[in-house]
Structures are given as C-alpha cells and as structure tokens.
C-alpha cells in the first residue's frame, strides 16, 4: 500500500545521511539523465541555510553542492596576517598552484595547522581533513566497501513450504583521499608522519602519476584519475620527524617542504590580541615571558603560541572573578606544567618562570 503523507513533517536535528527512500531516489536520478530535470525523482535534503530543518526538494547536483557548503568549508577564525605570515602564505600558495603537495614542518604550536586551513580556504574548493595517527590504515584514506542494506524475506505462503532469501547490498564508501582525488577537493593531512608509512604508500602514485589506486577494487574501477583541482597540504611535527614512523623518502621527495618556526614577537603579540582581546601591553608581557622560557627549555618541551593564548584567556577570565587571587607567574607555571616529568623538573620550571616573568 503506498504511503500517503498526510501533513508536512518537520524534523529537528541534522540530516547527514540519506534515508533509504532518499537514497533510492538519488540512485534513480543518477541512473537516468532525464531524472535530473524530473521533479518526481529529485531528492530531499535539509537546506544548510534553513536552521529549523524543514526539507526541500532539490536535485542530486544541488544536494552535492549543499553538502560541500555545509560540511566541507573550513573555519579559519581569528587568522591574522603580518609580513612573516604573508611570506609563508605566499610560498605555500605558489607551490600549490604549481601543482605540488606542500609539507609544512615545524614544532608544535607554531601555526602550521592554522596556515594550512587558511590557505586551503583561500583556494575556494571544499576541504577534506585527515589526522594522522598510528591506527590509520589505507582504507581510512581511500574508503572501502560497507554493507548498506540487508533484507530478509521469509516466505511461508504455502503452509508446508518455507522459503527464506537474504539479500545483502554492499556499496563503496569514499574516505577523504578518494573524495579529494575524485572531486578536486583540497586535502589537509594533519600530522601525517604519525601514520605508519605503509598506510601512506597510496599517496605515492597520487602525487607522482596523478592516479589513485583503490587496491580492493578490480578492473577499470581500480584506478581514479586525480582531478586537476586536487591539492594537498600535509603537516608534521619537526620534533617527531625522526621518531618511530619516519616518513619514507620516496614520499618526502614528491612534496615541497616549508619549514615553519615559531613566529616572531610582533606576530605572536598580534595573534594573542586577536584571539583574546587582551590589551597590547599585557599581550607583550605574556609573549615575552613565553619566548624567554622557550629559549631555555629542550625542544620537546618548548611552549608554542597556544600557551600564550591560554595565559591571556586565563587573565581575561580572572578579571571577572574578583574572589580569586592567582598571580601571573602561577598561571605561566600551570600552562607549561603539562610536560613535567618529576618534582625536580617542576622546581626547575618554577625557577625558569620566575626568571622569565620578572
């Protein structure tokens, strides 16, 4: 019996996945050229602009665009440009435009990810994102088969004949790398060197020959020609670079490397002011203190720009809490105490803060 909608239903919450009927309609419109113009087989999606989540009828193409706008446009809030920021940005854009993947390498908290997101946004293409870690496999990058529908039919129409039929439908689901290669998106692969090198091998032919190989597919479907708009920005931590998963030379040879060190005093002050709205003299004092601590600590323990922002936020919050008395030095100690390994080390850090914040 056909289902008749009696009243327009309004739904709260976000529709990220299509329902079975929407999926069917989408498949039909995909399979039929005329379908795109035929409103009877168009699909429905929540309009991203329409926050009360009513549904509207749109075509498959428009649906794709709506998803790109709603989920694949990065936020690059509070990004500031100073001459040194612009200099790095120019180099990054140049190499990307020349068609090379760019590897931003530098210590934690120096601004690599922010730069990658900012430049990716400037390219004007949707952006997909992967965070490298030990457990990442090639499928996490390229996708794989996933079971979409399973249907069991138990037919007992004739009382002494019992028939069952199980149908399982599997479908290929893309992950960030295959999406970026197919549709020409920008890929940000953050901390890529934390992934085991073997999982990243799939990137070799993408960067060199412009071909993505999907090892679990057969025949023609096994190879995807990389879209001309595909761009990749990879970041890695210079401290971890020589660690357990040192990326293979073949991969590094295919990318341009831009070394990003901590920004200079002026830029860090501007960043702190931009993120917290703190006054210039306070921002200067914070940045000066952290920079002085940074000089004296070993590489793996150096506090980055994030530490400056944290102290500034702490100070701003303290303004509203007259019942609390925490001095500036203690706040600095709290922010850098994370990487402390012993009571002796803590004493050393306290001494360092007292010297630097004087």
Ligand X SMILES: Nc1ncnc2c1ncn2[C@@H]1O[C@H](COP(=O)(O)OP(=O)(O)O)[C@@H](O)[C@H]1O
Which residues are near ligand X by CB under 6 A? 78-80, 85, 106, 108-114, 271, 274, 304-306, 309
Return all residues near 233 (Cβ < 8 A) that are at least 6 apart. 92, 96, 101, 102, 104, 116, 119, 120, 186, 187, 188, 189
Give me the least distance between CB of 290 and Mg ion, in Å please.
18
Q: Where are the alpha helices (DSSP H) in 145-264?
A: 176-183, 197-200, 202-208, 249-253
Nearer to Mg ion, 233 or 352 (CB): 233
Q: How far is CA 306 from CA 66, 94, 175, 228, 271, in A?
A: 34, 27, 30, 36, 10
From ligand X, Mg ion, none, which one binds at residue 339 (CB under 5 to 8 Å depending on kind)?
none
Q: Which tokens hold the place of 137?
A: 């496999």
For 253, which DSSP code? H
Closer by beta carbon to ligand X, 78 or else 246? 78
- By C-beta, is 45 or 188 nearer to ligand X? 188
Exposed, middle or buried by CB within 10 Å (0-12, 13-18, 19+), for 114? middle
Q: Which does 271 bind (CB under 5 to 8 A by kind): Mg ion, ligand X, none?
A: ligand X
Residues found near Mg ion in the complex (CB under 5 A): 113
Query: In the bound complex, what is the minimum distance in angstroms from residue 168's beta carbon to ligand X?
Result: 43
User: Out of ligand X, Mg ion, none, which partner does residue 309 contact, by CB within 5 to 8 A per kind?
Assistant: ligand X
Is residue 37 within 8 Å of residue 16, measured between CB atoms? no
Closest to ligand X by CB, 45 or 269: 269
Contact criterion met (CB below 8 Å) for 268 and 262: yes
Interaction partner, residue 111 (ligand X, Mg ion, none; CB < 5-8 Å by kind): ligand X
Please, what is the minimum distance in Å from the beta carbon of residue 74 to ligand X?
12
Cα–Cα separations (whole angstroms), residue 175 to 187, 333, 348: 11, 42, 46
* Cα–Cα distance measured from residue 176 to residue 313, given in angstroms and rounded to the nearest whole number: 34
Minimum Å distance from CB 327 to Mg ion?
A: 31
Nearest-approach distance from CB 137 to ligand X, in angstroms: 24
Q: Which two tokens stand for residue 202?
A: 């799939």
114 binds, options Mg ion, ligand X, none, Cβ within 5 to 8 A by partner type: ligand X
Shortest gap between Cβ of 188 and ligand X (angstroms)?
Answer: 11
**Distance of alpha carbon 269 from alpha carbon 59, whole angstroms:** 48
Least distance in angstroms from the C-beta of 81 to ligand X? 7
Q: Which residues contact 3 (CB under 8 A, 6 or more apart)?
A: none
Instruction: Closer to Mg ion by CB, 63 or 245: give it.
Output: 245
Q: Which is nearer to ligand X, 270 or 282 (CB)?
A: 270
CA–CA separation, 335 and 352 (whole Å): 13
Return the closest-CA partner of residue 252 out of 228, 234, 275, 265.
234
Closer Cβ to ligand X, 182 or 291, answer by number: 291
């Amino acid at each position: 019996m056909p289902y008749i909608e009696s009243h327009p239903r309004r739904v709260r919450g976000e529709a990220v996945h299509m329902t079975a009927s929407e999926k069917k309609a989408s498949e039909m419109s995909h399979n039929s050229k005329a379908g795109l113009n035929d409103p009877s087989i168009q699909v429905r999606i929540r309009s991203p602009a329409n926050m009360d989540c009513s549904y509207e009828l749109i075509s498959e193409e428009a649906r794709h665009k709506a998803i790109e706008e709603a989920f694949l446009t990065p936020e690059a809030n509070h990004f500031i440009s100073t001459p040194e920021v612009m200099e790095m940005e120019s180099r990054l854009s140049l190499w990307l435009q020349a068609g090379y993947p760019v590897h931003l390498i530098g210590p934690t908290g120096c601004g690599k990810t922010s730069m990658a997101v900012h430049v990716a946004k400037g390219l004007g293409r949707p952006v997909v994102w992967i965070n490298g870690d030990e457990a990442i496999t090639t499928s996490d990058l390229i996708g794989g088969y996933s079971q979409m529908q399973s249907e069991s039919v138990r037919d007992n129409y004739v009382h002494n004949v019992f028939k069952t039929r199980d149908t399982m439908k599997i479908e290929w689901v893309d992950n960030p790398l295959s999406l970026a290669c197919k549709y020409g998106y920008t890929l940000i692969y953050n901390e890529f060197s934390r992934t085991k090198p073997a999982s990243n091998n799939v990137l070799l032919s993408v960067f060199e020959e412009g071909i993505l190989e999907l090892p679990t597919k057969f025949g023609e479907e096994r190879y995807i020609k990389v879209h001309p708009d595909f761009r990749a920005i990879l970041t890695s931590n210079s401290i971890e670079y020589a660690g357990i998963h040192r990326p293979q030379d073949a991969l590094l040879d295919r990318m341009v490397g831009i070394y990003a060190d901590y920004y200079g005093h002026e830029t860090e002050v501007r960043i702190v002011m931009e993120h917290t709205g703190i006054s210039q003299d306070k921002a200067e004092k914070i940045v000066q203190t952290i920079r002085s601590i940074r000089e004296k600590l070993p590489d793996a323990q150096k506090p980055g720009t994030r530490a400056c922002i944290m102290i500034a936020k702490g100070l701003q919050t303290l303004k509203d809490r007259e019942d609390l008395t925490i001095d500036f030095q203690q706040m600095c100690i709290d922010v850098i105490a994370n990487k402390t390994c012993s009571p002796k080390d803590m004493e050393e850090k306290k001494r360092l803060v007292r010297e630097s914040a004087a």
